[in-house]
Amino acid sequence: MTDARGQRIVLVVAVLASFVAFLDGSIVTVALPAIARGLGDGGAGPASGADLTLQQWVVDAYLLALGSLMLVAGSLSDTFGRVRVLRAGLVAFAVTSLLAALAPDPGLLITARALQGVAAALLVPSSLALITSTFTGPAQGRAIGSWTAWTGVAFLIGPLAGGALVDTLGWRWVFAVVVVPVVLTLVLMTRLPGDAHRGGPDQPARVDVVGAVLAAVGLAGPVFALIEGQRVGFGASFVVVPLVVGVAALVAFVWWERRAPQPMMPLDLFRTREFAVGNLATVGLYAAISLGTLTIPLVVQELAGLTATLAGLVTLPTTIVSLLFSTMFGTLAATHGPRLFMTIGPLITASGFLWMLLVRDPIDVWWQVVPGVVLFGFGLAVTVAPLTSAVLSGISPARSGIASAVNNAISRVAGLVAVAFLGVIAGGALTVDGFHRVVVAVAVLLVGSSLVSFVGLRGTRRAS
């Protein structure tokens, strides 16, 4: 698989496999108001507390399973082979997507979303590990840039396709349509040799079950408390007990990972400077991205009165700009080092969100929101591919699966927690003032990510 044709096949398969998981995230966001109307209390106008809670759970059930299990999936990828794990994840994702499409009530929809997250956890680390174990040097930077750009097509197609489906066939089709790229990817994978890209040859096939359970409980408890506390009050035992149990589980998780013979999150990875700093920058960046990309479609639909299709058009510039420039910045980062790009990029993104402080009632979406969305997209293009390159630059190919899993898990967990905080930041209901508080919080997170990169990363370096 070292010839040019084999490398192209690897890149296409990696892009398509990640495309499925990213498409699900982008296509669902624009459908949240319709889901709340269909399964929630059916209220009109700004999202009520109950509707906002349902929307948060539809997003966070997926992110919770994805973030807590991606580390296990990274280990499985390194142990059993990228191709085998990818194939299992794709099949499971198709089945759980259909379950979500057929869900008759909020409880079953949230359950199906959690199962989707389990399947998606098998996709992203394995697809990126395919790239890092196939490409080296500047070619790896270009490949990661292409992976970033073309998986960004999911964010291009998602809001538009989701909006059109909601406005014509109904919100259930935003889940069912994901099956199409899954089938295409499975067909293309028949052209790959079975498990050509494995982890280390001496790795026994063992899974850190204790670590997986502690991570899942540690994430679920605080997230449950943050979301449900807005509904029943943060002093209720119904909220306090999960919070305490979750925090205790997180402490136990770190303790266990330091002692486990085969930890799902090898803490020694963080001894690599670029890996540690890159993941710390990831926290601020992806918390901001998740909070922003969830809130913008909600605001333009529920406060500005746009249809789901038009809401998809509003977010379109982010993906177009990112798609145009991600490969270029991935290549530049491979040559000049990621520090400059990871410092400037989040500041550009923050300026885009601060522009949205111009939002007033009545909302002029095309002047008060869209220019900020364009800046948002350009900042992402400057940042994301260099960030991925930085995180994996000092990691051996044999451990690229678990390393990419750790980074992706951190990004999903950051998004998970940020979404759980949405109601707290916005004040329980999404109003213009609440939106202003959200965009300020997003900007603060992005500035923090920029400072971490500037202080923690080394200067210009040549690619290996």
In 367-414, where do the E strands start and end? none
357 and 449 together in one domain: yes
390 and 280 together in one domain: yes
Question: Of the residues 263, 279, 304, which one is the last residue of a structural domain?
Answer: 263
Sign, CA torsion 295/409/391/186: negative
The per-residue pLDDT for 336 is 80
Angle (CA) 181-96-165 rounded to 5° is 55
Residue 411, domain member (yes or no): yes
Residue 448, domain member (yes or no): yes
Helix (H) / strand (E) element for 85: namely: helix 82-102
Residue 463, domain member (yes or no): no
What distance in Å separates the CA atoms of residue 438 and residue 315, rounded to the nearest whole number?
17
Cβ atoms of 385 and 333 within 8 Å: the answer is yes
Cβ atoms of 85 and 126 within 8 Å: the answer is yes
Cβ atoms of 74 and 66 within 8 Å: the answer is no
- Taking alpha carbons only, the member of 84, 186, 90, 198 closest to residue 134 is 198
Amino acid present at 164: A
Distances (CA, A) of 356 to 51, 52, 295: 24, 21, 12
Residue 390, domain member (yes or no): yes
172 and 36 together in one domain: yes
305 and 365 together in one domain: yes
258 and 278 together in one domain: no
Cβ atoms of 123 and 20 within 8 Å: the answer is yes
Residue 31, domain member (yes or no): yes
Q: Which two tokens stand for residue 349?
A: 């993104």
317 and 237 together in one domain: no
- pLDDT tens-place values along the chain, 464 residues long: 456 666 777 788 888 888 887 777 778 888 888 888 888 654 444 444 557 778 888 888 888 888 777 777 766 776 777 778 888 889 999 999 999 999 998 889 999 999 998 898 888 777 777 777 777 667 777 777 777 667 666 766 777 888 888 889 889 999 988 888 888 888 888 776 554 445 544 444 567 778 888 888 888 888 888 877 777 777 888 889 989 998 999 999 989 988 888 787 788 888 888 889 999 999 999 999 889 888 898 888 888 888 888 888 888 888 788 778 877 887 887 778 888 899 999 999 999 999 999 988 888 888 999 999 999 989 988 988 888 878 877 777 767 666 777 887 788 788 888 888 888 888 777 788 889 999 999 999 999 999 999 998 876 554 43
What is the CB neighbour count within 10 angstroms for residue 394? 16
- Taking alpha carbons only, the member of 75, 175, 13, 33 closest to residue 409 is 75
Report pTM.
0.76
The per-residue pLDDT for 195 is 44
270 and 370 together in one domain: yes
Residue 160, domain member (yes or no): yes
82 and 163 together in one domain: yes
Angle (CA) 359-364-366 rounded to 5° is 105
Q: Which two tokens stand for residue 173?
A: 């089709």
The per-residue pLDDT for 70 is 73
147 and 270 together in one domain: yes
Angle (CA) 410-414-419 rounded to 5° is 150
What is the CB neighbour count within 10 angstroms for residue 258? 11
The CATH code of the domain that includes 314 is: 1.20.1250.20
Question: Of the residues 222, 247, 263, which one is the last residue of a structural domain?
Answer: 263
Report how many domains make up the chain.
2
Q: Cα-Cα-Cα-Cα dihedral of 327, 329, 333, 335, to 10°?
A: 80
Which domain covers residue 255, as residue numbers?
Answer: 208-263
Q: Which two tokens stand for residue 267?
A: 């803490």
302 and 212 together in one domain: no
Residue 197, domain member (yes or no): no
Residue 202, domain member (yes or no): no
Question: Of the residues 248, 263, 278, which one is the last residue of a structural domain?
Answer: 263
276 and 247 together in one domain: no
251 and 323 together in one domain: no
